Amino acid sequence: MTWPTVPDVSDLPPLSPALERLRVHVLTHSVKHGTFTLKSGATSTWFLDTKQTACRADGILAVTDAVIEVFGDVFTDIDAIGGLTMGGDPMAYGVAAVAATRGHDLRSFSVRKEAKQGGITGRIAGALIAGDRVLVTEDTTTRGTSLIEAADEVEAYGARPVWMTVIVDRGGTCAAMAAERGIDYRPLLTAPDLGFGFGT
């Protein structure tokens, strides 16, 4: 079995130890090189499959440490965590589970792509409660539209999308969209943190 080589991060912007651990995991497991057509239709020489970080045990531990650090001033105010399926699911469920072992009680949920017709109807699936203060999640964002769609559904449900985060912000446009909605957006990592330009 061959093990991934640890990437050289000496030329990249300095980060805290928790964010550095996450960056190394993302660069090792989630960044792919080649020629790719993105969801937007644009082509790129790199691709982010951040589920390769969020769906690995050591990866979700690093993600949770990063979330707790980045949202340290408000973490105890967060009631629930979730986002649009599937991009938000591994992060939401993983962070809620790991945080529980550290004394933080978060409920998790998913926003369905379409409303369910039978049983419990609507687009929210999981333990979200009306009035909850919510951290909306996504694994990666380029434009920010999935995060805003999830926030809209959270609000329609009667909860409050107060915060928003991603493992990696690739495009750099989500911050302005979140600000327009009065949502506190804090990405864990950005494209420049990985050595790439926004929108490349």
pLDDT, one tens digit per residue, over 69-85 is 999 999 999 999 999 99
pLDDT of residue 79: 98
* Whether the predicted pLDDT of 172 surpasses 50: yes
> Do the domain assignments include residue 89?
yes
- Considering its fold, how many domains does the chain have in total? 1
* Whether the predicted pLDDT of 2 surpasses 60: no
> How far is 127 from 138, CA to CA, in rounded Å?
18
> Do the domain assignments include residue 79?
yes
Q: In this predicted model, what pLDDT tens digit does every residue of 7-33 receive, in sequence order?
A: 788 899 999 999 999 999 999 999 999
Q: At 139, is the pLDDT very low, low, confident or very high (cuts 50, 70, 90)?
A: very high
> Do the domain assignments include residue 64?
yes
> Do the domain assignments include residue 88?
yes
> How far is 52 from 171, CA to CA, in rounded Å?
19
Task: Kindly state the average pLDDT of the residues 159-181.
Answer: 96
* Whether the predicted pLDDT of 37 surpasses 60: yes
> Do the domain assignments include residue 114?
yes
pLDDT of residue 5: 65
pLDDT over 70, % of the chain: 94
Q: In this predicted model, what pLDDT tens digit does every residue of 86-135 receive, in sequence order?
A: 999 999 999 999 999 999 999 999 999 888 766 566 899 999 999 999 99
Q: Domain holding 128: CATH number?
A: 3.40.50.2020
> Do the domain assignments include residue 196?
no
What's the mean pLDDT when you consider all of the chain? 92
pLDDT of residue 153: 96
> How far is 110 from 154, CA to CA, in rounded Å?
10
Q: Which domain holds residue 72?
A: 17-190
List C-alpha distances in Å: 188 to 113, 125, 154, 159.
Answer: 25, 25, 21, 23
* Whether the predicted pLDDT of 1 surpasses 60: no
Task: Kindly state the average pLDDT of the residues 3-8.
Answer: 66
> Do the domain assignments include residue 98?
yes
| φ, ψ of residue 175 in degrees (nearest 5) | -60, -45
Nearest Cα to Cα of residue 171 among 190, 148, 150:
190
> Do the domain assignments include residue 199?
no
The reported pTM is 0.92
